[in-house]
Amino acid sequence: MDTTIREYCDGDFDSVHNIRMEVVKEPYSQAVFLRQSHEVSPDLFLVAECESRILGFIIGACVLNNSKKGWILSFAVEGGCRRTGVGRKLLRGILSKFDSLGANEVYLTVSPENRPAMNLYESEGFRKTDFVPDYFGPGEDRNMMRLVFSRL
């Protein structure tokens, strides 16, 4: 699959929103989140595209104070394109962006039941740092994961 990773543009909204809705079924709040994410960090909102079709997206934010932390806020790949390398390309794309911005570390949260995602993150150097019960509310537990950039 010849997939290109590029920055999100307004014309991608419907495709990205549909992919996001596969995971979170709240149309209004998800639409607001996507629009505002693009406004706040346009260079950290990436999409995977193949033959003019959006296959997935990843959204990050960077806190460049003394901590220089990056955060992966949202990440999803269309159901039929999972386990094809699309997610790995998106993850590597945003990690490259964080690195170029000078981030020292990157954080994310993931459902403890989402073993495929945790395997991907671990294979790219993330390590579990904490388990947080009810992170997003009752029954919404999350594993906190962190990647530290090693610079010579």
Domain containing 140 equals: 4-148
Looking at the structure of the chain, the number of domains it has is: 1
- Surface-to-core class of residue 50, CB atoms within 10 Å of its CB (0-12 exposed, 13-18 middle, 19+ buried): middle
Q: Helix (H, G, I), strand (E, B), or coil: what is residue 106? A: strand
147: nearest Cα among 120, 111, 115, 112: 120
**Nearest-angstrom CA–CA distance, 29 and 106:** 25
**pTM for this one?**
0.90
pLDDT single digits (tens) 65-95: 777 899 999 999 998 888 888 999 999 999 9
**Nearest-angstrom CA–CA distance, 16 and 137:** 25
Q: Is 134 left (phi over 0), alpha (psi -120 to 50) or beta?
A: left
Mean pLDDT by 10 residues, the chain (152 residues): 91 93 75 87 94 94 86 91 90 96 94 95 97 92 95 54
**Tell me, what CATH number does 66's domain have?**
3.40.630.30
41: nearest Cα among 116, 111, 123, 98: 98
- What is the pLDDT at residue 27? 66
Q: Helix (H, G, I), strand (E, B), or coil: what is residue 58? A: strand
